[in-house]
Chains A and B, each alone.
Chain A
Amino acid sequence: MQTKPHFAFFDEGSKKEIRRATLKAVAIPGYQVPFASREMPIARGWGTGGLQLTLSLIGKKDVLKVIDQGADESVNAVSIKKLVQYTTGVALTDHTAEANIIQSRHRIPEHPLREDQILVLQVPNPEPLRKVDAREYMTKRMHAEDDYSGAWLILFEQIMKYGKMTTGAAHPVYVNGRYVMAPSPIPRFDNPKMYYSDALILLGAGREKKIYAVPPYTNVESLAFEDYPFSKESFKGKQCKLCGAEEVFLDEIINQETGDRTYQCNDTSYCMERLNSAQEKEVESSYA
């Protein structure tokens, strides 16, 4: 006999614990609140933190969107969506504007988020100081003492070695002028979207058992030096080969045979929406 799963997978006690940690996380922006990460039906390190946040938030009327590296249809996103829908029956969407809970791995959607939306980010390594010291006890102490010289030194060493800051993703940020936080492995391109965001941003690390948050309208500054200012990845002069979008985060696609490079929107639903609206306009004008 198969019994129906409990609403949103978790027992109510687990939800309460996650909810208490989330409320504390919002009250102390950027501080990693420890929580009793539950065993999930997906492997730790594959979005269990984000999933646990989503399950603790979600109600019958919510509309969920899940993306993985900007794509709605990749494996991680699809399996998380399926699990949440199976246990809650909520509506799913690909459109950023239609969703009110957006769980994401490694991207903040191109479409600007609104006040009534919550962005849930999956975090593999929540500790920006882990490279500085492997011991949790020590990194917690550094956060307590506001000692971020290690985080600065990592960036400084990059500049000494390569002439620039070479963080590919998860460029550390200062939240509310107090805590240095790993913004999850989003590209530098997305860091400025956290600054005074309209939406609440929750970050969950299941394997590392941490929940942290960036409330809306909060000062989020990327770490940078006066003479080496922070810069986003630049796609100057490049555009999406499908929808022609500029000023968005682009994936580089190399043709193995010819060696040609083409570019495509990383946010697939944004690209699709642009293509659809362009087609609608085309149809309208041809009938007129």
Chain B
Amino acid sequence: MAIDQVHDLQQVYRNMLDCMARPGTITSLEQKTGLFEDQLSYNEAIFLCALTVLDAEVTFYIIADTDKGDKLAELISSYTMARVTSIEKADFIIVLQGDIKEEINKALSICKMGDLINPQQSATWIVETAALSNNGGVTIHGPGIKESKQLQTGLWNEFWQTRNSKVKEYPLGIDLIFVDALNQISCVPRTTSVKLTEVG
């Protein structure tokens, strides 16, 4: 089944908006694969999110450990006309799963976080994870969350620590969108306070 640029992406956007407004909420996107089946070596939701928000006006950067990052970059560029740029300048940073801990930590500390006059000029991260759930993981609270929530992303502690120091000077910071293999998405914007609960 092909992706309908108008109606399918509208659905994806509403899911993203819902998740961004209610951090930690997990919603699932409709499975659309078929068209890209043989090419996809990453979660389809990554591609759907990219199609929804990227166009010629914005730039992106992909962090991946194999050449699948380059393939995805080419695919996204050809579909959306968005340009690949350096980590420091990218409006969107897309992270694929892989052995890339160090690169991610480095990217977290050097990516755009806006300035006080224009805090919106910051990077939005779209991060591929194995499985999202509300059992265990980090404890989050803040705007959009009634009391507090648990969010399991499978990411390491240092990731959250670096993220926390990145959003210290609110309103500066980065917004995170997580996607998993089941086409589920969940968001953690800069306003969310993240507490580490897991060990290791």
Contacts and interface: CB of A to CB of B under 8 A. Distances in A.
Given A24-B124, A26-B144, 17 more contacts: A12-B5, A12-B9, A16-B55, A19-B17, A23-B17, A23-B20, A24-B120, A26-B17, A27-B189, A56-B13, A57-B14, A59-B14, A140-B117, A141-B117, A144-B116, A176-B143, A215-B20
Contacts of B36: none
Nearest to A144: B116
Interface stretch (A39-47, A216-224, A247-255): A216-224
A26 B187 CA distance: 11
A178 interface: yes
Interface of A: 6-8, 12-13, 15-17, 19-29, 31, 33-34, 56-60, 140-141, 144-145, 176, 178-179, 200, 213, 215-219
Contact of A218 (B5, B16, B57, B143): B143
A22 to B, nearest CB: 7
Q: Give the size category of B's interface with A.
A: 35 or more
Given A16-B52, A176-B191, A29 B143 contact: yes
B199 interface: no
Contacts of B191: 27-29, 176, 215
Interface string B100-125: 00000000000000011101100010
B53 A16 contact: yes
Q: Is the interface of B mostly helix, strand, loop or mixed?
A: loop
22 contacts: A13-B55, A15-B13, A16-B52, A16-B53, A17-B55, A20-B53, A23-B124, A24-B124, A26-B21, A34-B120, A57-B17, A59-B14, A60-B7, A140-B117, A141-B117, A178-B171, A200-B17, A215-B22, A215-B144, A216-B22, A218-B143, A218-B144
Nearest to B58: A20
Contacts of A31: 119-120, 171
A6 B7 CA distance: 12
Contacts of B143: 29, 176, 215, 217-219
Given A31-B120, A140-B117, A200-B17, A17 B175 contact: no
A33 B124 CA distance: 15
Nearest to A176: B143
B178 to A, nearest CB: 14
A102 B164 CA distance: 35
Interface string B188-200: 0111000000000
A57 B7 CA distance: 11
A30 B190 CA distance: 13
Interface centre among B6, B170, B190 (most CB of A within 10 A): B6
